[in-house]
Amino acid sequence: MYKRLFRPLLFSMDEEQSHALSEYALHVPFVWNALGAQSRVGDPALATTIAGVRVPSPVGLAAGYDKNCRVLRSLIHTGFGFVTGGTVTLAERTGNPPKRMVRLPESEALLNSLGFPGQGLARISPRLERLGAHRSRIFVSISGSIDDEIAQGFRRIAPLIAGIELNISSPNTVGLRVFHDPARLRRLIELLRSSRPTSTPLLVKLPPWTSEQDERRRALALAETAVSAGANGLVIANTVPVEDGRLAVGKGGLSGTPLLENTERMTAEVAALVGKNASVVSCGGIAKPEHVWRMFAAGASGVQLYTGMVYEGPTLPRRLNRGLLELMDTSGVKNVTDISGPPPY
């Protein structure tokens, strides 16, 4: 129904307008109650642990969909095992000028140059205080260009949710590249750890990298630094930087299906590096049950998606859960964490 009826309507609109409409629909209790009745995650075979947080399904929502944390509870009802709100910054931001989103239907991809538009910590944190029991499956992405600003967000948000995702890798935001220096990243993570003595699960979202030797070496050094400094997990990875004249600022980040192969390779490289010292969450191009399988076989503990929802609709998490269970049943795999080798076809 989504592809036949709703997607053509949404795709006839500007990208940000259609996103706002879909977010508005999630405010309507009838919508997410109807989805929740069909999408509840109940099979223990899908349960996994991400950065010390136990979740009922490995399928998570990536940061960027609910930037202001308005509909996180509703999104849980669509079948996600966990969701990530934000990215949240200390102060309100308008982001980059429009046009800043472009659909690429032929490749089921998106371009974006949003640049962290959001209402800021003061307006968003009260919503997190009202999450109730849902907080155990909710992460929030935070970022900024100044260490102390990020630390303020960390201290305010960390007690309210299951864990924090630190975004140092958006290609659309000025100032983040300073944290691609291992020494600066270490200093930031150690500051976050010292600012809240009790342990809060912390994941770091890394920038993507190619298989070129020097680029790979730098990326893995950053991953190793993050874990040794105190991160419990790594999200692999952010959108791929591209130049495109359809975006007002002339450049942005590519997400969606074209990223899948690279995501699998990067996941395997990082998982081999960190072993059991940190969780690896794969993000980029995931839209089918076999994609989830491949990421777990590469060493992931969970996956995140966003662009897949744009093209497949709100029932995608449910279909991924059911499809993954079918693949596991075919292969005799008892738990998602036991997946290995290629998926059965």
Give the tens place of pLDDT for each residue, 229-286: 999 999 999 999 999 999 999 999 999 999 999 999 999 999 999 999 999 999 999 9
Which SS3 state, helix, strand or coil, does residue 77 take? Answer: coil
- Amino acid letter, 60: G
Report the mean per-residue pLDDT for the chain: 93
- 175 burial (CB, 10 Å; 0-12 / 13-18 / 19+) is exposed
Model confidence, pTM: 0.94
**Which residue in 138, 40, 26 sits closest to 74, CA to CA?**
26
> Confidence class of residue 35 from pLDDT cuts 50, 70 and 90?
low
Share of the chain above pLDDT 90, in %: 81
Give the tens place of pLDDT for each residue, 310-319: 999 999 999 9
pLDDT above 80 (res 40): no
The whole-number pLDDT of residue 157 equals 95
CB atoms within 10 A of CB 249: 15
The whole-number pLDDT of residue 309 equals 93
> Confidence class of residue 133 from pLDDT cuts 50, 70 and 90?
confident
E-only strand ranges, the chain = 48-50, 53-55, 59-61, 82-88, 101-104, 109-112, 138-142, 163-167, 202-206, 233-236, 240-243, 251-256, 279-283, 302-305
Q: Judge whether 125 counts as a catalytic residue.
A: no
> Out of 170, 255, 279, 301, which one is annotated catalytic?
170
The whole-number pLDDT of residue 315 equals 92
> Confidence class of residue 29 from pLDDT cuts 50, 70 and 90?
low
Rounded mean pLDDT of 150-170?
A: 95
The whole-number pLDDT of residue 299 equals 98
The whole-number pLDDT of residue 170 equals 85
The DSSP output letter for 87 is: E
Rounded mean pLDDT of 61-79?
A: 94
Give the tens place of pLDDT for each residue, 48-65: 999 999 999 999 999 999
- The full set of domains in the chain, from first to last, is 2-325 (3.20.20.70)
User: Residues 6 or more apart from 283 whose CB is under 8 A from it?
Assistant: 62, 205, 235, 236, 237, 238, 263, 303, 304, 305
